[in-house]
Amino acid sequence: MTPDPYPDTALIPAPARVEGPYRCGFVLDGRTTLGAATGTETTARWLRDTLGAAFGLPLRETADENATHTIRLRLDDSLAPEAYRLHVLINDVVEIIGGGPAGVFWGAQTLRQLLGPEAFRAAPVGTRAVAALAAQTIEDAPRFGWRGLMLDVSRHFMPKDDVLRYLDLLAAHKLNVFHFHLTDDQGWRIEIKRHPRLTEVGSWRARSKWGHRASPLWDETPHGGFYTQDDIREIVAYAADRHITVVPEIDLPGHSQAAIAAYPELGNTDVVDTAALTVWDSWGVNPNVLAPTEAVLRFYEGVFEEVLDLFPAATSPFVHVGGDECPKDQWKASPAAQARIAELGLADEDELQSWFIRHFDRWLAARGRRLIGWDEILEGGLADGAAVSSWRGYGGGIAAAEAGHDVVMCPEQQVYLDHRQAPGEDEPMPIGYVRTLEDVYRFEPVPPGLSPEAAAHILGTQANVWTEVMQNRSRVDYQVFPRLAAFAEVAWSALPAPEARDYPAFERRMDTHYRRLDALGVDYRPPAGPHPRQQRPGVLGRPLEGRPPIV
C-alpha cells in the first residue's frame, strides 16, 4: 500500500500537487474580508452565500490588494482556463488564482473542502464562527474538459429546487456538464409555447410500473410535472454561475411516445392508431417512433427554436437529440415510411434514422450549435460535425473517435449509476451488474490501444442516471452517492492506470467526504449497506451476475 499523498486535506477529487501543509496560516473569522478582481465576481458571490452562511460571517468586500485577514480572488491567463493555484499564506491570507473564472471557482471549491465539513452546512452549528487552515499551496487542473452527469427527469420528474441542488452537488465535485434528459416515452418535461399539449398531455402519466418492467406491481398514483420556460432559464443561469454547461436532450426519432400521445399526427398513423396512445406507464424500449415526414421535421424545428432560446449558445453549445433505441418495425410496416426511403434514395431504415439525425445536425449547425447523440447515431452514417455519447460500451466511442468525431465516454457497464452497488439482497430494486465504489474509481475513460489522434477526440466522460426505479430525490441520492465522488476523481485527476490506483487511500479520504455529504443532507448509500428505509423488499429488479463485459 502506498502512502496517502493527501492525508490532511482529504480533498476529492485529488489535486495535482500539494506543498505543505505547514503551521497555521489563515483563520476564517469575523475579521475576514473578500477581495475579488474583475472576472471573479460570481465566485465571490458564491463564497459569501456558502461560507458566509456556514460560519455566520459577513465576508465584507475589500479593494485593498495588500489587506490581511482576507480571501483574494484573481486571474492569471498563463494558467489553463480551469486551472488554479490556491495559496494559504502565513499572514492570514488565502489567495486563489485561476486561469479563467472557472479556475477561480474550482479553487474556491477546494477552499471549502479545506475548511472542514462544517463549511457544507447552511448555517453555523455552534457558537465558534471560526475555522483555521495551515499554510500550504495547491496547484491543480482537470484531466478532461467534459466532466458530466446525465440526469433523467423524464421517467421520474425532479422538481426544480432538486435540480438546483444537484447542480450544487456537481459543482462541489468539480463536475462541469449537466446533461438534462428532458423528454422520453414516459414524460415531456419542458414547456414549448407553440405546442402546449406537449406539457398539458405529455407531462403526465396515469400510473407507473413499480420496479423493473417485469415486475407485476404498479404505483397507481398519477405522475408528472414539467419545467416552465422561466424555470429552465433559472436552471441555466444557476448552472452558469457555477461554471456548469447544460446539455438539453430532446429525444428523436425514438423514445417519443409522450410527444405522440400529445400530438398523434407525429406518429406512424398508417400502421398504428396513434390517437389511442397515452403517455407510457412502463419501462424499456418503446415501439412507437416518429414518422419520417416533413411535418414532423417542422414540428421539431419549432421545438428546437424554443430550446435554443432557453439554452443560450454561451452556456449550452451542445444539444443532445437522443437517437438511441429506435425500433424500425413501424417504418418497415409503414407504406409512407417506405415511400420516404425510396424518395430519399436511402438503403434501409437505418439510413432513415441517419436522415433524421443529419437533418437536425445541419439545422443546429446553421444556428451555431453542435449535435450530440447516443452511439446509435453512428448507424447509417454520421454527419461530420456530430459528437457521440458512447453508452453501449467503449466500442461506439472508439469507432467514432477513429473516424474523427468527438466522443464523451459513458459506457453502461462502468458508469451507469442506476446499476446496483453491491450484490446483497437488500439493494433496492437491483438493476444491472454490480458497480461498487471501487469499480467506479478504477474506471478509465480512454480505452487502451486508441491512437493518439483518436484519443484527442475524447472530450471527457460522464456518469448517467436513469430514473425508472428512482421515484424521488432520496432514491437518486442513494444511487448516485458515494459513487459520484469516485467518478469525479476519475474525470478530474491525473490518476495512474486503473490497477495502480490507490483505492485504500481514496477510501480514507472518503471518511471525511462522507461527513461533507452528511452536512449537505445527501442520502447516500452507507459503506456498510443500505439503511432499512433505503431498502425496497419484494420489488423486482433486474440484477445481472458476474463481471460486466468490456465492449
Backbone phi and psi for residue 313, each to the nearest 5 degrees, phi listed first: -60, -30
Measured between alpha carbons, how far is 338 from 357 in angstroms, rounded to an integer?
Answer: 18
Pairing of strands 223-224, 204-205: antiparallel
Residues 410, 491 contacting (CB under 8 angstroms): no
Residue 190 DSSP one-character state: B
* Cβ-based neighbour number of residue 314 at 10 Å: 9
In terms of phi and psi (left: phi > 0; alpha: psi -120 to 50; beta: otherwise), the region of 381 is: left
Q: Is 376 a catalytic residue?
A: no
Measured between alpha carbons, how far is 389 from 247 in angstroms, rounded to an integer?
Answer: 12
Residue with cell 449550452: 316
Backbone phi and psi for residue 283, each to the nearest 5 degrees, phi listed first: -120, 170
Length of the chain: 551
Taking the alpha carbons at both ends of the chain, their separation in whole angstroms is: 31
Measured between alpha carbons, how far is 238 from 229 in angstroms, rounded to an integer?
Answer: 14
Measured between alpha carbons, how far is 51 from 111 in angstroms, rounded to an integer?
Answer: 10
Q: Is 511 a catalytic residue?
A: no
Measured between alpha carbons, how far is 55 from 42 in angstroms, rounded to an integer?
Answer: 20
Q: Which of 168, 241, 324, 325 is catalytic?
A: 325
Measured between alpha carbons, how far is 374 from 376 in angstroms, rounded to an integer?
Answer: 6
Q: Which of 82, 152, 184, 361 is catalytic?
A: 184
Measured between alpha carbons, how far is 432 from 417 in angstroms, rounded to an integer?
Answer: 10
Residue 15 DSSP one-character state: P
Measured between alpha carbons, how far is 369 from 14 in angstroms, rounded to an integer?
Answer: 33
Q: Is 255 a catalytic residue?
A: yes
In terms of phi and psi (left: phi > 0; alpha: psi -120 to 50; beta: otherwise), the region of 10 is: left
In terms of phi and psi (left: phi > 0; alpha: psi -120 to 50; beta: otherwise), the region of 284 is: left
Q: Which of 156, 195, 243, 255 is catalytic?
A: 255
Q: Give me the active site residues, please.
A: 184, 255, 325
